[in-house]
Chains A and B, each alone.
Chain A
């Protein structure tokens, strides 16, 4: 099967798509409760959720503390999340991956 693009192009292109989704597209997504939250509200156990241990994080709830514009606040959080996830996975892979020789 044909390899149309190099791994480098795949990773850089893919990363660009992820940044676009997390930083920009995420602004227009549905703010409604998700399936679990909806069921929890309907059946009356939503209130048993406690305060989150990371509620004090500067990026709690996908916003950036101290940034007033909703677009920038969410966008910045998205960029941080994408880069952090990528970096953490990269570190993990360095430990796990065997080299081909």
Chain B
């Protein structure tokens, strides 16, 4: 859902630019609390994976495709603050080097994918996690539900921005309907990929997964580690 240059008028793009800068600045400060040199390598890997996965458009219906946004995935693996940084780096590289997502739309794309996508994914994940049994197998399930919802919500926010500051007259109801319908379908793909990747990381390094910290043996201390792995 990379927004190109020209879709939104200047005031709207400036506004989303300010929102994006504020969000990323806050994420730079707050991510320090979640990041230490033990979990940092996973954060690097998450950004790299989201870039690679966004190259892979999967077909969703005749003539249409979708790709991972990765917000929920990143948030569950490295926490929402660090995830905001990961997705922002991906969007920067895509806009500057690959001409994917407009330069004047960079603030819009950061707002939609690095803020809305990440935080909706994280909040839904956190809610679902409370309802599910407190065990490792619940983490990828909650992550998938967060992923599923994050995509249509980001799409709805785009529709709202376009209604406010779009450069072409489009009936609001039709735009919301079309954006949400297509992105619910894309959200299913997002959920499947998120489930598989979170499951994979949980199976090899559950101790690094931010969204599994609440589990009794989540972030094992060195003492736990000795007792668990002889």
Contacts and interface: CB of A to CB of B under 8 A. Distances in A.
Interface of A: 1-5, 7, 10-11, 14-15, 17-19, 21-22, 25-26, 29-36, 38-40, 42-45, 47-55, 57, 59-62, 77-78, 80-82, 84-86, 88-90, 92-93, 96-100
Contacts of B206: 1-3
| Among B40, B59, B185, B212: residue with most chain A CB under 10 A | B40
Given A11-B44, A44-B168, A49 B59 contact: no
Contacts, number: 239
Nearest to B46: A89
Interface of B: 1-7, 28, 31-32, 35-38, 40-45, 47-49, 51-53, 55-60, 63-67, 85-86, 89-90, 92-100, 102-104, 136, 155, 158, 162, 166-168, 170, 174-175, 178-179, 182-183, 185-186, 201, 203-208, 212, 215, 217-218, 220, 225, 228-229
A82 B155 CA distance: 26
Contact of B60 (A5, A11, A35, A78): A35
A3 B186 CA distance: 33
A16 B167 CA distance: 42
Q: What is the predominant secondary structure among interface residues of chain A facing chain B? A: helix
A93 B43 contact: yes
Contacts of B86: 89
